Amino acid sequence: MIKRRSVRIKVFQAIYGFEHSNGLPLKDFSKQLKVSIESIKAIYLYNLLLLRAMAESVENEWENINAKHIKTAQDQSFNTKLLSNTFLSFLINDEVFNDAVSRYNLIDKIDDVLVQNLYIQLKQSEAYADYLVSQENFNAKEDVAIIKFIYQDIFLQNDDFHAHIQDIWSNWIDDAQLISMSVITTIEKSKNRLILVTSKESFADKLEELTSFGDELFTQVVNNKVSQMKLISSKLKNWDVERLASTDIYILRLALAELMYFPSIPTKVTINEYIDIAKEYSTPKSKEFVNGILDNLTKELSVKGLIIKEGRGLKDS
């Protein structure tokens, strides 16, 4: 469920860093951008892998119980229902997911102590107790509900969980909301199979496409700065471009690059995306400002034939 929104934000951050770097090599920022985009994908997969680890914890405990010569009453009543959870079964058996986990060497990053503590916390929860006593096996709605509980109420509320991921990926705090929303969406949409992306593309192909998108967008923004600034300045009535928030300028430049050099992305999608980014990352008035400037520029550039959208349903977008 990693989408272009996350990549746009990463490019925005890379442009901001480059413009304030006092002449550091462009290639350094381009390389860091690729690493940053890759990390989003890796963290997303790792969150899913830690969910799978809950099922593995159940299995390990069950094996330890079976290895005992004398079993307690608690041992004999041990419930393995989580092992048949539909979503966790997808994570265990899906080849695409397992290939991606292998590609990023994610299993080696698992902290067994953290996993055990998360599992203990899960076993102590009322929601998990209710799930275990329910007699409805293979109930998709019930299975999704407990996985969402594990992720939202156990994982995301656990400080050690956040510290662990932050130790591995320094950008976790910045990207946690975006990634966690992607994980939750994956849980909700994986009804008959694991849905890692919404398109029909393979997961690996989708990741490659997003990386290429980010690299091309970054390049277009950097290479066309002069023409972008000229266009922006032409729409600033009674405003000195030097007085504008630098973040607004970078957002407008990103939007212009996407409008003019990415024919497969609908105009409305681009405008809405950068309005949202302005709302989140710039000043309180930036949303209206960016919206107004982009509306004017889009009309002018379309008339001049500088915004051309191709593909089904895009020519009039």
Residue type, 194: L
The model's pTM is 0.74
pLDDT value, residue 316: 36
pLDDT value, residue 237: 76
User: If you classify domain 224-303 with CATH, what class do you get?
Assistant: mainly alpha
Contacts of 245 (CB under 8 A, 6+ apart): 282, 283, 286
pLDDT value, residue 139: 86
Segments of the chain with pLDDT less than 70? 1-2, 197-204, 238-243, 311-317
DSSP string, 248-306: HHHHHHHHHHHHHH-TTS-HHHHHHHHHHHHHHHS-TTHHHHHHHHHHHHHHHHHHTT-
pLDDT value, residue 214: 92
pLDDT value, residue 241: 64
**Domains in the chain: boundaries:** 4-204, 224-303
